[in-house]
């Protein structure tokens, strides 16, 4: 039986990944800061799907705690077959309205953690010739939306390169680009769901179902939903100055 490690699995997209992977028969390693919520999700998944679920409490903004996750990924005696780099958060205010420390903490989770956990997972995967990684980016990576967009653009480039670099060694890497999703993500930012049109809000379970289907097909990028495929296409041709006028969308 294969094992998947999911970061940020206690709510939203991460919870959907954990649930749907358990339904597929994967054992799980769940990584998050809140042990109580981790234990609750783990118990639910063990009961519902009769899979093994390991809990690993770690704050990915803390380098010492992140090393615990890296060590678990690098442990060849207990191989991880799929890594889902999902953990993340955003900042509601614009760049200069946030402290440098807040911006750095966000970069630690969105960029540094993705880099280090991908590095830790790729080694044993490439050595044994099998495994996969799904990195959760964002359609915001294609738009001018401050440091969050810049961080997610990094995730895109890292994932695209790794997908081609390690495919010959049996490792699949896919980057997922969701848009607005009905999760706790925006609630934690104190952003009202009415700040973006209803048609832009996606269901997390549907999104993950599409993402896993795209992963099964070997896609390098997954952009669930017709509306975000259209937005992604437009983002490549519409001038940056025009796109920047809409950066307050989903922030109020």
Tens-digit pLDDT profile for residues 7-47: 999 999 999 999 999 999 999 999 999 999 999 999 999 99
Q: What's the confidence (pLDDT) of residue 185?
A: 59
Cβ pair 72, 29 in contact under 8 A: yes
Per-residue tokens: 151: 């961080």
Among residues 218, 212, 148, 138, the alpha carbon closest in space to that of 178 is found at: 138
Do the beta carbons of residue 159 and residue 167 sit within 8 Å?
Answer: no
Q: Check whether 109 has a pLDDT greater than 90.
A: yes
Asked whether residue 63 carries a pLDDT value surpassing 50, the answer given is yes
User: What per-residue confidence (pLDDT) applies to 244?
Assistant: 59
pLDDT number for residue 211: 97
Give the percent of the chain with pLDDT over 90: 70
Q: What is the pLDDT of residue 249?
A: 52
Least confident range from 21-30, 51-60, 168-177, 239-248: namely 239-248
Read off the pLDDT band of 231 (50, 70, 90).
Answer: confident
**Taking residues 101-113, what's their average pLDDT?**
95
CA torsion angle 221 111 188 39 (round to 10): 90
What one-character DSSP code corresponds to residue 5? E
Confidence bin at 59 (pLDDT 50/70/90): very high
DSSP symbols for 210-229: HHHHHHHTT-SEE--SHHHH
49 is catalytic: no
What domains does the chain contain, in order, with CATH numbers?
3-246 (3.40.50.720)
The whole-angstrom separation of Cα 58 and Cα 236 is: 37
| pLDDT score at 196 | 61
> Does position 169 have pLDDT exceeding 70, yes or no?
yes
What's the pLDDT score for residue 250?
Answer: 43
pLDDT at residue 194 greater than cutoff 60: no
Helices (H), the chain: 12-23, 35-49, 63-74, 100-107, 113-128, 146-166, 184-188, 204-216, 226-235, 240-243
Integer Cα distance of 166 and 134 in angstroms:
14
Instruction: Give 240's pLDDT tier (boundaries 50, 70, 90).
Output: low
Using DSSP, state whether 27 is helix, strand or coil: strand
Choosing from 49, 148, 215, 228, which is the catalytic residue? 148
Distances (CA, A) of 149 to 94, 95, 132, 168: 12, 11, 24, 30
């Amino acid at each position: 039986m294969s094992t998947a490690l999911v970061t940020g699995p206690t709510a939203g997209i991460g919870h959907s990944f954990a649930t749907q992977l358990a339904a597929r028969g994967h054992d799980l390693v769940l990584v998050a800061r809140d042990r109580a919520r981790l234990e609750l999700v783990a118990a639910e998944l063990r009961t519902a799907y009769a899979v093994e679920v390991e809990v690993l409490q770690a704050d990915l903004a803390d380098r010492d705690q992140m090393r615990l996750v890296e060590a678990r990924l690098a442990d060849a005696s207990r191989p991880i077959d799929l890594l889902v780099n999902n953990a993340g958060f955003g900042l509601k205010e614009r760049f200069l309205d946030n402290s440098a420390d807040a911006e750095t903490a966000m970069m630690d989770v969105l960029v540094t953690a993705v880099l280090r956990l991908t590095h830790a997972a790729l080694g044993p995967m490439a050595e044994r010739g099998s495994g996969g990684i799904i990195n959760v980016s964002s359609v915001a990576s294609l738009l001018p939306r401050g440091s969050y967009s810049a961080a997610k653009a990094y995730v895109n480039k890292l994932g695209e390169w790794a997908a081609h670099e390690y495919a010959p060694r049996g490792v699949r890497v896919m980057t997922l680009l969701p848009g607005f999703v009905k999760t706790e993500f925006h609630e934690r930012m104190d952003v009202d769901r009415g700040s973006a049109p209803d048609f832009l809000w996606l269901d997390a379970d549907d999104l993950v179902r599409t993402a896993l289907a795209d992963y099964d097909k070997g896609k390098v990028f997954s952009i669930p939903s017709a509306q975000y495929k259209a937005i992604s296409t437009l983002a490549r041709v519409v001038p940056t100055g025009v796109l920047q006028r809409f950066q307050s969308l989903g922030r109020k």
